[in-house]
Amino acid sequence: MPKSKVLSVIVCVGVVYTLNILYRHGYTDNSFRSGTSERQGLVEDRFRSRRERVLKTCRTARNKEDVVCTINTRVLYFWNYNASICTMGKVSSGTWRSHAQRVNELRGHPMHDSRRRNLLRKPWQQVIDYSRSVSRWISVRINP
């Protein structure tokens, strides 16, 4: 088969695949453009509801977080980006570790990074202040 026919077959398959996805998600005719702001509002409502639920749970929880344990076992730092992430098992923690390895140019486990060890040797108030000064992320898993 000549190259132009192969290319046209690939393009046709791509178009059919894209249309199939749009049809499955209810984007028929022009509804793809017209419903965008409506769907965005629904997503915003869902995230607002989740945020309120997290805040309510945190305010009413009786147990306090062990900050020392969290920093020692769960927080990964992205040194050149002034950021950190609090990881938890089964919530892409392995992916975050591999990102930290790549971004921080490490060969071993990111928890054994010399910059991290040096930070954790400082007085705890300095460690906590540093952790608060960087952009903080948390990765969570929400089952619908």
Cβ neighbours, 10 Å, residue 71: 20
Examine the domain organization and report whether 72 and 115 are in the same domain: yes
Examine the domain organization and report whether 51 and 71 are in the same domain: no
- Residue 21: give the domain boundaries: 3-60
Residue-wise pLDDT tens digits, 65-108: 778 888 888 899 999 999 999 888 888 888 999 999 999 999 99
Q: Which residues contact 144 (CB under 8 A, 6 or more apart)?
A: none
> What predicted TM-score, i.e. pTM, was given to this entire model?
0.55
Pairing status of strand 135-138 against strand 83-86? parallel
As for how many domains the chain has, the answer is 2
Residue-wise pLDDT tens digits, 34-43: 556 677 778 8
144 domain-assigned = no
